[in-house]
Structure 1
C-alpha cells in the first residue's frame, strides 16, 4: 500500500472523465471509422506493435483516444489489459516521461497485484526517490519487465497528447519506445504491449523517433473520414444551439453554413465558437458570428484585440503567468500575484474571475478554481518567437526569459516580505495545501516556495536574479 500511495500522481480514468466534461460528449457517429481502418486492425491483432495517430492542433486526436478507450474496454479478449494515459502540458503531474510511467505502472498494479514483485525490492531500497524525475531508468526497467511478464496477456495502451510532455523528457521516452518495439529475435517472444500514440509531428524529433512505425495521418490518409466527423460535429453543435436559444430554421441554416465554411476541419474551433455563441440571443447572433474568423491563430488574435485597452496590462500579466506557470494556478494565487483587493460589493475571488473573463475564450476556470488555457495551441500562439507585425498583438506575446524572471522575482519577494514570517513551510502546510490556515492567509506561499527555483533555472544564461 505504501508503494502504491507513493507511486500515485493522478488516476488516468479520472483524467479522461474530466476531459469529457471539458470537451463534451462525442457527437453520434464520429470516430467510428477508426475501427475499420486497416492500420488500426493490423495494430489490434498484432502481438506487439506501435501505431502513431498524428494530426494538427484541434484535429480531434484526444476525442479519438477517448473513443478508442471506450471501445477497447468493451471488446477486449480474455486475459488482456487496457492502459490509458492523457498528457497535459500545463499540469506538472502529467507532462513528463516519469509521470507517464507512474500512471501506467499504477494501472498495471491495480489490475494485477502479482506484479508488485517487480517493484517492491527497488522501492524497499529507494523509497519515494524511486518516483523522482531522476529515476526514469529504474522506472522504465520496472515497466518493461511488468509488460513482459507472462502472467499478463496482450496489453493494449492508448497514450494521448505525447507532444505535450517536456521536450527533453519526451526524447528519452520515445527512445525507449523505439527500442522496445524493435526487439532482437530472442526478445520478440516476450513482447506483448500494443501501443497507440496520438500526437502531432512537432517537435520534429517526434517524427524522427517514430519514423519506423506505422503512422495514420488524420489530415491526409483519413481526411475524408475526419471531414465527415467534422460535419457531424457541426450538425450536433448547431442543432443544440438552435434548440437552446430557439433559433428559427433560417437562422439555424445560416449558422450551420458559417460553421462549415470557417471551421477548416478543426474540432476545437467548432467547440470554442459554439460555446461562445451561447452568450448571444437570436438578434445578436448574426453580428456575433463576425467576431469569429477562420483559423485558430486568427481567432486567438481577434480575442486579444477585443480586450479593452484599460484592461490589457492586467490581462497580459494573467496570460503570462498562466502560460509559464509550472502547474495550474488557482484563482486565489492569481489574486495574490495581481495584488487584488475586494471591491465594495465584490470578494477578491469575484474580482479575479472578472479579470480572467476579460481574456475571453483563451482562458477557462476548471475543477472549481484552477485557471487554465483553452488548449495547448493557445499556449503555443502566445509563446510564438517571431515578433508580431501588429503592435497590439505583440504586446500580449509571452517572452519566456523576462517572464520567468518576473515570476521568480515575484515569488522571492512574496517569501521575503512576510509570507514566511511564521517560519519555513511545514509538512502540514504542504500536505494540507490550500486547506492549511497559513496558505489561506498567504495564497501564493505554496507555489512560491516550491517553484520559484524552477523559474530561476529556466532563465537564459544572460539573466540572473
Structure 2
C-alpha cells in the first residue's frame, strides 16, 4: 500500500468531495405528517424498492423534506440514530461543483467514509475505498474514470461488502443516501447530457445491485427524462400542487402563515385565502411572508390579497410565482423611482437575475426595456404573459 500519511486526509484529497451549501430549515413541527410517515415506513421496509423518488412542482417543498430527512437521521435523539446513517448531495444549478453529475458519487463516498469516524461498523467500507484508491496508478482517479466506474468502485462494491460482512438481509442497519434536485444538474452541452444520462443509469443500478437495506432518496421536478428512468424502479411519492393539492398541504400552509403572522392582526379568513391560493406552493407562501414582514405589514398584505383577487384562478404554479415576484420587484423599483442611480443598478442586477427566476431566457427587446427601466416596465417584464 502506498505511503499516504493520514487515511482520511488522503481520501479527502483524492475524492475531492463538493462542499455542500447550507440546508433548508425545513418546516414546523406538526406539518407534512403524511409525507414523513410514508418516508419512515419506506426506510424501515425491506419489501419496497430501495429507491424513493419524491417529485413535485418548483416550490412544493421537496428540498425542505430532503433536509428534514438528513437532519432526522443525524439527530442523536432520533429513533434512527443508532442503526441508520446518511450521506447527502444537494444539487444546485449554477454552482460548478454542485451541478456536475461526475462529482456526486465521489462526494457521497466520502460522506459514507466519514461515518467510520463515529461508527466502527463502517470500517470495512473505508478499507474498501482505501484499497481502490491506493491500487489505482493514475493520480487523477477517480476524476478520470466514468460515472459508472465511480459507482461500481466507490459505492456499489463497498456497500455490498459492508452488508455481506456485518449485516444480513433482516438487519435493522440502514445506509441512506439523499440526493436532492436531480433536475438541476448542468445539461448545457452534449458532454454534460451524456454524463447526466450515465448518472441516471447508475441510479437504476442502485435499485438492482444493492440490498434493500441501502436506501436512495431522490427529489426532482416531474420531468420526462427522469420519469422514464425512475418510474419503474422506485417508490414514487408526489407533492401535488394546484388543483390537485391535498387538504393536508393547505392546512400545513395555513399553519405556516399563522405561526409567522402570530404577532400581527390577520383574520382567519385572510389566512385561509392565502393558503388556498398558495395551492401547495410553499415557496409562494414563504415569499409572501418575507415580503409583508419586511415593510408596511398592513399595506403589503392588502396588496398581495388584492393581486390574488385580480388574478383569480388564472394560470399555473409558475404564473403565481412569477406574478408575486413581479409585484415585489415593482414595489422595490417604485421606492427607488426618485433615485436614478439606484434604479440603474437595480436594472443591471435584474437583467441577470430575472431569467433565472422565470427559468427562461429574455428576448433582446425585453432586455432593452429592462436596462432603461421605469417601475411599470419591470412589472410588465415579470408578468407570466410576456
Which residue number in structure 2 is paired with residue 66 of structure 1? 67
What pairs with 1:173-212 in structure 2 (closer than 5 Å)?
Answer: 173-183=199-209, 192-202=213-223, 204-212=224-232
**1:284 maps onto 2:291 in alignment:** no
For residues 6-30 of structure 1, the C-alpha deviation after alignment (integer angstroms, 9 at most, x for no partner) is: 4243455xx4xx233xxx4522211
What pairs with 1:368-383 in structure 2 (closer than 5 Å)?
Answer: 379=356, 381-383=358-360
Taking a change above 3 Å as real, the CA distance of residues 227 and 152 of structure 1, as seen in their structure-2 partners, is farther
What pairs with 1:266-281 in structure 2 (closer than 5 Å)?
Answer: 266-281=281-296
CA distance in 1, matches of 2:346, 2:297: 30
Taking a change above 3 Å as real, the CA distance of residues 394 and 28 of structure 1, as seen in their structure-2 partners, is closer
Find the residue that maps to 1:19 and give its secondary structure.
Answer: coil
Shift of residue 131 of structure 1?
A: 4.4
**1:297 maps onto 2:322 in alignment:** yes
Shift of residue 122 of structure 1?
A: 4.4
**1:103 maps onto 2:107 in alignment:** yes
Q: 5+ unaligned residues in a row in structure 2: which ranges? A: 1-8, 116-121, 168-173, 188-192, 312-319, 370-376
CA distance in 2, matches of 1:279, 1:123: 52
Alpha carbons 2:32, 2:248 under 8 Å: kept: no
Alpha carbons 1:43, 1:51 under 8 Å: kept: no
Alpha carbons 1:158, 1:197 under 8 Å: kept: yes
Shift of residue 52 of structure 1?
A: 1.0
CA distance in 2, matches of 1:270, 1:255: 13
Which residue number in structure 2 is paired with residue 4 of structure 1? 12
CA distance in 1, matches of 2:149, 2:157: 11
Shift of residue 262 of structure 1?
A: 2.6
Match of 1:234 among 243, 247, 254: 254
Which gives a bigger RCO, structure 1 or 2 (Cα 8 Å, sep 6+)?
2
Which residue number in structure 1 is paired with residue 6 of structure 2? none
For residues 44-83 of structure 1, the C-alpha deviation after alignment (integer angstroms, 9 at most, x for no partner) is: 3126611211111111111212222344442338654322
What pairs with 1:45-64 in structure 2 (closer than 5 Å)?
Answer: 45-46=45-46, 49-64=50-65
Which residue number in structure 1 is paired with residue 170 of structure 2? none
CA distance in 2, matches of 1:182, 1:388: 51
TM-score by length of 1: 0.59
For residues 427-465 of structure 1, the C-alpha deviation after alignment (integer angstroms, 9 at most, x for no partner) is: xxxxxxxxxxxxxxxxxxxxxxxxxxxxxxxxxxxxxxx
What pairs with 1:101-250 in structure 2 (closer than 5 Å)?
Answer: 101-111=105-115, 112-124=122-134, 125=136, 129-132=140-143, 135-142=146-153, 143-149=155-161, 150-151=164-165, 153=167, 154-167=174-187, 168=193, 169-183=195-209, 192-202=213-223, 204-213=224-233, 214-219=235-240, 226-243=246-263, 247-248=264-265
Find the residue that maps to 2:126 and give its secondary structure.
Answer: helix
Shift of residue 104 of structure 1?
A: 1.0
Shift of residue 383 of structure 1?
A: 2.3
CA distance in 1, matches of 2:166, 2:84: 7
CA distance in 1, matches of 2:304, 2:379: 25
Find the residue that maps to 1:54 and give its secondary structure.
Answer: strand
Which residue number in structure 2 is paired with residue 401 of structure 1? none
Alpha carbons 1:174, 1:209 under 8 Å: kept: yes
Bigger shift: 84-93 or 298-307?
Answer: 298-307
Taking a change above 3 Å as real, the CA distance of residues 282 and 55 of structure 1, as seen in their structure-2 partners, is closer
Which residue number in structure 1 is paired with residue 93 of structure 2? 89
Taking a change above 3 Å as real, the CA distance of residues 382 and 85 of structure 1, as seen in their structure-2 partners, is closer
CA distance in 2, matches of 1:380, 1:284: 25
Alpha carbons 2:253, 2:275 under 8 Å: kept: no
For residues 285-326 of structure 1, the C-alpha deviation after alignment (integer angstroms, 9 at most, x for no partner) is: 4444358647112223334445357566544543455x5xxx
RMSD of the alignment, in Å? 3.7
Alpha carbons 1:230, 1:266 under 8 Å: kept: no
Alpha carbons 1:59, 1:268 under 8 Å: kept: yes
For residues 158-185 of structure 1, the C-alpha deviation after alignment (integer angstroms, 9 at most, x for no partner) is: 22212111232332211111133135xx
CA distance in 2, matches of 1:242, 1:302: 24
Which residue number in structure 2 is paired with residue 425 of structure 1? none
For residues 308-352 of structure 1, the C-alpha deviation after alignment (integer angstroms, 9 at most, x for no partner) is: 57566544543455x5xxxxxxxxxxxxxxxxxxxxxxxxxxxxx
CA distance in 1, matches of 2:86, 2:350: 37
Find the residue that maps to 1:57 and give its secondary structure.
Answer: coil
**1:318 maps onto 2:344 in alignment:** no
Find the residue that maps to 1:182 and give its secondary structure.
Answer: helix
Taking a change above 3 Å as real, the CA distance of residues 258 and 389 of structure 1, as seen in their structure-2 partners, is farther
TM-score by length of 2: 0.70
